[in-house]
Chain A
Amino acid sequence: MTIQEKLEILTGAAKYDVSCSSSGSKRSSKGSELGSVSSGGICHTFTPDGRCVSLLKILLTNYCIYDCAYCANRKSNDINRAAFTIDEVVELTIHFYRRNYIEGLFLSSAVFKNANHTMEMLTSVIQKLRTDKGFGGYIHVKAIPGASQELINEAGLYADRMSVNIELPSDRSLKLLAPDKNKEDIFKPMKQISTNILNYQEEHRKYKKTPIYVPGGQSTQLIIGATPENDLDILSLSQKLYDKYDLKRVYYSAYIPVNTASNLPDIKNPPTLREHRLYQGDWLLRKYGFKAHELLNEQKPDFDINFDPKTNWALNNLSLFPVEINQAPYGVLLRVPGIGVRSAQKIASARRIAPLNYLDLKKLGVVLKRAQYFITCNTKYYGSVDLDEEKIRTVLKPQIDLNEADNPYEQLNLFDRLSDSSWKPKLLLPLALQIPSKLLLAEDCLTSVTGEL
């Protein structure tokens, strides 16, 4: 098998992993060695699905001993299998890196033989890159659940970021779709990595020579829509992961049906809008100081697809609004729909010079379409309707109900009915009003999947 064929198979097998960030770590090349890492991360290209490519994302092999229902590489699937040798991965990484195609390596693998053997192979690849080749680029490596502590400890010394994918948000779903895995196996390495990071940090504070363990932190991924968990379950899990294990990111991946099985949902389009709302919620947790139970509760356990999570929260807590732009503290400004981190900073900065008027807000980049209902400017309320939940909901509602657009079931096609002579179309919508099968929101583009931060 040529290296090209291997690359095609093993890239295709790795592509469903969402994470592609190269951020969180910083390293300058030492002397005349190759490679550096910049803390903000760098995207090197963007694929037609709009995701950034920053790392050479490949599996070491796709020969797998597990049979997880959702996975394209499960052992019962009849697909092309391949395996890289250690040297092939090392050479490929170095040569791509020298041409500035990539920021580093994202190495994952299917589990072959057993977890320990797989982890050992992964570790030897990155060990060779770092020590033999003096490679200073970014390395993201998967911790294989069930691998021994020593192996994971060692891998962390070479990697910038490590991740363990949870994939299914509850033990029940895990039993249903991935019977060979269990919750303990997944959380054990995660816990171990987070303790190691803390220990090494402590050590590093005393002795500067101590290396930093996994400087880019760890991340994980959850599949959305393959199992019946609601958004509250998912977001509470993320919250726990951020608080308890100090994860850098939790990625959400809309379930794409690659297999068919009786225990899998039968959907046509991946639920990308739901994924998008979850990402928005996730950013609110990490950057805006929200808690999962503020955004969702037992009565309303799912995000409203028609409104972004912050607007939704504000509408449910209208008693806290309107806030006065010229007086509200920064943390309160951040909670106003239509005001993001950047515009909140600008407001806080500009009002030190002089009080702001309503026109200024537009200049600062505040999205007044949403913000106008939740703020006062020099005590005057500028909203086009009264401060009333129903009225605001009506004006902010998107023109077409997005629940329809993100319907997991296929839209009825006009031509399916043509053979049925008794059926006549009653109304033909003008083109602009027809709902495309995969709808994109113009104003909130899916920044969440670019993988930065």
Chain B
Amino acid sequence: MKDYVYDGSFDGLLTAIFYAYQDKDRVKIVKAADYIPHLLNIKISVSTETDKADRVYNSIYSKLSYDTLSNIYHLYLSDIPDVENVILDYIKLCFKYSDTINLAKNNDTIRMVDKYKRRAYGEAHLFKGLVRFKEIAPLIFYSQIEPDHNILPLIIDHFKRRFSDQHFIIHDLKRQYAIIYNLKEAYLRDLSVEEGNQLSHSSESDPFESLFKSFYQSITIEERHNERQQRSYMPKRYWKHLVEM
């Protein structure tokens, strides 16, 4: 068995797929960060080659469909261990049976694709609500999040559109990078946890935090107490960065 090890970028993944697709052996694609050497497996390091990645990208787009390509991108963003091999299986399946195989919702690979895609997509939607900004300077806002999936690319447009007249940073502490918006454009940039904490502590506590807390407490109806339902919509692991909890 061969392990194709790539650098973790989307282009890197597509390059790895380029080589793994034509390999007749049993193959596995692993991110360099997650790679554990195995005694019996051969390691093949794949460095990102843009032309190879483009070829894979374009052939999926033109021979399959935009939806399939978008599925693959969402799967990649889901950041679930071993998702690379689901992607490889998915591409092989689609090229074998043509794009209509996407209709076969009972196929195990298609089911996995739908499931993982929904997870990434669902979390991105949830975080459109769960991001909490703190005003660190007049009209400059900073927020920390720790999502399970790599959702920043999925929420960047939403926040850019919504808060077009304020500077803001949405910092993914787990992946140590952030959305930065400077009134002109929004872009993604590496940002370490230390830098983030510095930003966060650069100001006094925000007076609206306590106002929101008391709003949150007063809106609750005690007679209908139902914490299990609360947790099912908003799991406890997200509570750390919510000011009202």
Chain B interface, >50% SS class: helix
Contact B224 A256 (CB under 8 A): yes
Interface string of B206-243 (1 = CB under 8 A from A): 10101110111111111111111110111000000011
B226 touches A35 (CB 8 A): no
Shortest beta-carbon distance, B5 to chain A, in Å?
33
Greatest chain A CB density within 10 A among B101, B161, B219 is at B219
In the complex, are the beta carbons of A98 and B135 less than 8 A apart?
Answer: yes
B106, A50: Cβ atoms closer than 8 Å:
no
Residue from B134, B216, B232 within 8 A of A47 (CB atoms): B216
* B212 surroundings in chain A (CB, below 8 A): 96, 99, 101
Mark contacts of A289-327 with chain B using CB atoms, 8 A cut-off: 1 yes-contact digit, 0 otherwise.
Answer: 000000000000000000000000000000000000000
Contacts A29-B161, A34-B165, A354-B104; is A46 near B206 (CB within 8 Å)?
A: no
Q: Are A346 and B105 in contact (CB under 8 A)?
A: yes
Task: Tally chain A residues at the interface, Cβ within 8 Å.
Answer: 63
Tally the A-B contacts, defined by beta carbons under 8 Å: 171
Is the beta-carbon distance between A352 and B103 smaller than 8 angstroms? Answer: yes
**A31: Cβ under 8 A from any B Cβ:** yes
CB of B135 within 8 A of CB of A99, answer: yes
Q: Is there a chain B Cβ closer than 8 Å to A402's Cβ?
A: no
**Does A328 have its Cβ within 8 Å of any Cβ on chain B?**
no
Complex CA gap A95/B210 in Å reads 12
Chain B residues with Cβ below 8 Å from A349 are 103-105
Query: Which residues does chain B contribute within 8 Å of A31, judged by CB atoms?
Result: 164
**A349, B103: Cα distance in complex, Å:** 5
Q: Are A98 and B133 in contact (CB under 8 A)?
A: yes
> In the bound complex, do residue B133 and residue A57 qualify as a contact, i.e. CB atoms below 8 Å apart?
no
Nearest B residue to A40 via CB reads: B125
136-190 of chain B: CB within 8 A of chain A: 141, 143, 158, 161-166, 183
Q: A15-B219, A100-B129 are in contact. List 16 more A-B contacts (CB 8 A).
A: A4-B210, A4-B214, A12-B218, A36-B162, A40-B125, A43-B129, A49-B222, A49-B226, A50-B228, A50-B233, A53-B216, A98-B141, A98-B166, A353-B100, A363-B105, A446-B229
**Interface set of B (CB-CB < 8 Å, partner A):** 100-101, 103-106, 108, 111, 125-126, 128-135, 141, 143, 158, 161-166, 183, 206, 208, 210-212, 214-230, 232-234, 242-244
Residues of A within 8 A of B (CB): 3-4, 7-9, 11-12, 14-16, 28-29, 31-36, 38, 40, 42-54, 56-57, 92, 95-96, 98-101, 103, 254, 256, 269-270, 272, 346, 349-350, 352-354, 356, 360, 363-364, 438, 440, 445-446, 450
